[in-house]
Structure 1
Amino acid sequence: MKLSTLQRWISPKRSIQGKIFIAFIVVTLVSIILITVIVYMSMRETITQNAITSVSDSIRQADESLNIMLEEIDRLNTVVVTNKNTVIDTLLSPNEEISYEWFQEQKRMDEFLSSLIDYKAYISRIAVVGLSGKVFFSGGPWLDRTILGTPMMNYMLQNGSKHAYFKQTGVSNAVTIGREIRYNRATIGFVMVDLNYEFIQKTYDVRPTTDSMIYVLDKGNQFIYETRTDSPLTPSYQQIKEINQQFKTDGEAVRRYIDGKEFIVVCRQSDYTGWSTISLVPMDSLLTESVKLRNLLAEVSIIVFVVVLIVSLQVSSRITLNIRKLKSLMMLVKDGNLTLPKNEINSEDETGQLYHVFNGMVEELKDLLEGIRVSEKEKREAELTALQAQIHPHFLYNSLNTIKYLARMNGVPNIEAVSGSLIELMRSVLGNSSEFLTVREELAYVEHYISIMKYRYMKPIRMITEIEDDELLDCRVLKLMLQPMVENAIIHGIGPLEQDGFILIRVYEEGNNLHIDVVDNGKGITEEQREYLLKGTGTNGETSRFSGMGVRNVHERIVRTYGDSYGVHLCSEPGVYTKAEIRLPKLEKSVENNKREVI
Structure 2
Amino acid sequence: MKFIRSLFHYSASIQAKIFVTFSIIVLLSIAAISVTTYLNFSRTIEKNAINYVSDSVKHANDNFELIFEDIQKISTVIVTNKTNVIDAITSSNDPVSLEGFREKQDSENFLLSLIAYKASISRIAIIGLNGKIFNTGGSLIFNSILDQPWFESASTSKDKQILIDAPAVGSVSFTRIIRQNNRPVGVVIIDFDKDTIEQMFAINPVEGSLLYVADPLGNFIFQPEHEQVQSNMQNSPLSPFYTSVEPLTSLSSSVFDLNDHKYLAVRYHSNITGWLTLGLIPYKALLKDASRIRSQIGQIVALVFFVVLLVSIALSRQITKNIKHFSFTMKKVQEGNLHARPHVVSKDEIGDLSEGFNLMMNNITTLMKEIKIQEQGKREAELFALQAQIRPHFIYNTLGTIKNLARMQNVKNVEELLGSFIELLRMTLGHTREIITIREELDYLKSYIHIQKYKYLDRITVMLQAEDDILDCQTLKLVLQPILENAMIHAIGQSDKNLFITVRIYSELNRVKFEVTDNGIGMTPEQIERVLESSEHDESFNGIGMKNVNERIRRTFGNEYGIAILSEVGMYTTVEFTIPEMRKRSKA
Please give the TM-score of this superposition, normalised by the length of structure 2.
0.50
Please give the TM-score of this superposition, normalised by the length of structure 1.
0.49
Which of the two has higher C-alpha Rg? 2
